[in-house]
Every structure is written in C-alpha cells, then in structure tokens.
Amino acid sequence: MKFSELKIIDPLLKVLGEEGYETPTPIQEQAIPSLLEGKDLMGIAQTGTGKTAAFLLPILQHLAAIDSDPEPNSPRVLILAPTRELAAQIDNSARTYGKYIPFNHTVIFGGVGQVPQVRDLRRGVDILVATPGRLLDLMQQRHIRLDKVEIFVLDEADRMLDMGFLPDVKEIISHIPKKIQTLCFSATMSGKVESLARTFLNDPVHVEVTPQATTVELIQQKVLFVIQEHKDEVLIDLLREEHLKKILIFTRTKHRANKLSMNLNGIGISSNAIHGNKSQKQRTQALSDFQRGRVRVLVATDIAARGIDVEGISHVINYDLPNEPENYVHRIGRTARAGAEGIAYSFCSSDERGYLFDIEKLIKQDIEVIDHPRHSKKAQDARGPSSRSAHKGRGGYRGGRGGGGQRGRGSSQRSRGGSRRR
C-alpha cells in the first residue's frame, strides 16, 4: 500500500515524498483511515513504529480544512507527552509534515522560561504539544484554556503513568470537552493504562502492531558477561570497532553517565551525557550534537529511553542493565528504527544476573552470549535461573586493545505554510 491510497491530501503527500516516505508503516496503515473518519483510537505500538506520523497526518489534514484562525490561548489540538524531549520531537515532526499547510503550533515544557511560550499562546495556536507539569502551571495562571480543543492525543501513556503523572493527566482531561476526537498511544496495555483510557476514549478503534513489551525483530541482541571493574575496558574495545558509528550508551545513574562520558572524551572518543540533572538547554544541545554527528557517543540514563527519535543509531549499549525489564525494551528500541537494522550490546556483571533473567523472561527469548577477552564465567554462572541461556550462542566478538572484529525541533514556531491571517 502507498500513502496515496490512504486518502491523504496532496500537501501532505508532497512532504512525504520529499522525506522519502512512500509506504506507510503498519501503525500508519491501520490508524490513519479511522482517524481521518474522526474515530477515537487506542494504539499499542513501540516507539520507532511511525506512530507520531500516524496521528499527526490526520490532525494536519483536519486543520487544512479550517480557514479560520485559532483563538488566543485556546488550542484546537492538544498533544500530551511525558518528557520534554518527546514533546520537542513531536513539535518538530508537526513542523516537517505541515510544511505546506497553514497552521500555527507551539511546544511547552518546564526547564525553560515561560515568557516566550505565553507569548505564542496569546497569538493563537492550532496544535499545542505539552508536558503535563508546565501545561497545568499555565492553565492555573489562565494562560491556557482547553474548552476549544477538538482533538486530544495522549502519547506514551504507560510512560506517563510510570513517571507519576496520573493525577496531572486526569486533571487536564477534566478540562477538555467531552465530545471530541481522542487518541491514546502506549507501548504496553497495562490495567492502569486501560483504566485511564476508558475515562476519555469513546468506542475507540483498537490498533496493535507489535506484541506488548517485545523488542523490534530487526535488533540483534547480544550480552557480554563481565565483572563490574572491567566494563570500561570492554566498552573501549567495542567502541574501537569501526562499524559502531553512532552509539547510545545507557547507565543506571547520572553520576556514572557523566564519568563515563568524561572518560571517553579523555581517550579521544567524542561523547556527551544526557540525564535529568542537565538543564534543558544542555539536553537539547547534546541531542542536537548527537543527531548531527558532532559526537559519536551519547551516554544517557533512562530519561532518554523513550521519545528520542534520533536517526541512524547503529548500536545501543547497556553499560548497566536496567532493574526494570520493560526499560530494556525501550532502551534498545532507539536503534532499528523505521525498518533499519540495529545491534544492542548488554554488559552483565554478577549482581545483574537477575536483571538479565527478568529481561529474557519478558522478551521470551534467550539473548546471544558473546565471547570476549575479559569474559567473566563468574558473572555468567551467577545466581538466577537464566544461567540456562548462558551456554548458548557463544558468538564472536574479538576485542583486545587494538581492534579485531565482530561477527556475525524545540521552541514554538509557525509552519512554513504561513498563518491564515498574518
């Protein structure tokens, strides 16, 4: 199927063609027709499946049919996202896809001054992308009214609940008109997500494009058993492999992310760190440098595991295994996006063996074990029933200190289409 078969208007088809998109992803193919008909939707999809375009394209087509300006401080479309990075990414995508459609849009989140955001809201916006905290702040200050909202999107609902935003989300929903089009997207369908969705979705279409909490099939997953003290050396050996071009590394703590990034820079491997203690300006700059190839490695805590859509990430490395197995799925989902292939390496020390077992149980598969010069049999045979998988697939990473081989957009903007009035 082609995008042209989905009854998408020419200005949107033109942009899709310019961006090199001809064939819709499964979530887009299943969701767009129902959304164009104005139906509510519950979508279960991992990030990287094209879900942002799945809801933005119908929204932009809806706005293209309106020839009046939005009222000041009263957005027509509200898209709620759990993190600043995801909110900024959605706003950037709206700008891209809406290149030939006249509409106004803005993104609001905390960590930056609110004055520019208030100014843009006062001018009137068709699409408002927001995080819950800053949105409620501006609502309480009477800078935003939600009584004119026509379409409401709750993105990354499971992440929203994991971050403790349930009271905020419920408060925001209480200010939105009842008879509007509503959309909810989530990577998993927990009882809490289902309960929340029932409060604002009306007879929704259900779309599920991947099994819940499973990994993208195109990702090659590999585990290296190593004692904690040798992780830096194993990592450096890996990074000296030329085929590792754009690498996202996950650590469990902010301190370790900073230290690891500093150490990598010290040996000539360009790196930056991103985590919750960084200012919004620093986080935006770090992502921009990584996206543009100014740095080869981005070291992150789980704040970056969801909502970061950086093209061309060749490898994800779990320097520390996450203690929540679902976070593993979201971490490695940063690679193998939009149909590309990717590789995920995970370092597992003795005290992380139980985490590995939980991960393999969740994804319902054994992760291939890679041999390397500093392989730790102690870590491989440590506690946890998952030791059953440790003797399978001893693959061929040959490290050593010299190489070897291995087998096998942010602030508010007006769209280019221009304002209807200005």
Three-class SS of 18-77:
HCCCCCCCHHHHHHHHHHHCCCCEEEECCCCCCHHHHHHHHHHHHHHCCCCCCCCCCCCE
Q: What is the pLDDT of residues 87-111, one digit of tens each?
A: 998 999 999 999 999 999 999 999 8
Q: What is the pLDDT of residues 133-183, one digit of tens each?
A: 999 999 999 999 999 999 999 999 988 988 889 999 999 999 999 999 999
Question: 108-134 in b/e burial notation, b at 16+ Cβ within 10 A?
Answer: bbebbebeebeebbebbbbbbbbbbeb
Q: What is the pLDDT of residues 331-340, one digit of tens each?
A: 888 887 655 6
Residue with tokens 């650590």: 251
Q: Give the separation between CA 129 and CA 276, rounded to whole angstroms.
A: 20
Q: Give the separation between CA 333 and CA 217, rounded to whole angstroms.
A: 10
Q: What is the pLDDT of residues 283-295, one digit of tens each?
A: 888 888 998 899 9
Domain range 219-406, CATH class:
alpha beta
**Worst-scoring range by mean pLDDT, 39-48, 64-73, 129-138?**
39-48
**What proportion of the chain, given as a percentage, has pLDDT over 90?**
62
**Worst-scoring range by mean pLDDT, 3-12, 31-40, 270-279, 345-354?**
270-279
What DSSP letter does each residue of 213-264 carry, written as one string? T---TTEEEEEEE--GGGHHHHHHHHHTSTT--SEEEE-SSHHHHHHHHHHH
pLDDT confidence of residue 308: 65
Domains 3-212 and 219-406 share a fold: yes
pLDDT confidence of residue 405: 35
pLDDT confidence of residue 340: 61
Domain segments of the chain as ranges: 3-212, 219-406
Where does residue 92 rank: exposed (0-12), middle (13-18), buried (19+ CB within 10 A)? Answer: middle
Mean pLDDT of the chain: 86
pLDDT band at 310 (very low <50, low <70, confident <90, very high): confident
To the question of pTM greater than 0.75 for the whole model, the response is: no
pLDDT confidence of residue 111: 83
pLDDT band at 303 (very low <50, low <70, confident <90, very high): confident
Q: Per CATH, the architecture of 3-212 is what? A: 3-Layer(aba) Sandwich (3.40)
Q: What is the pLDDT of residues 195-240, one digit of tens each?
A: 999 999 999 999 988 654 445 567 899 999 999 999 999 999 999 8
pLDDT confidence of residue 384: 53
pLDDT band at 386 (very low <50, low <70, confident <90, very high): very low
pLDDT band at 398 (very low <50, low <70, confident <90, very high): very low
pLDDT confidence of residue 418: 43
pLDDT confidence of residue 79: 98
pLDDT band at 305 (very low <50, low <70, confident <90, very high): low
**Worst-scoring range by mean pLDDT, 46-50, 121-125, 193-197, 282-286?**
46-50
pLDDT confidence of residue 338: 56
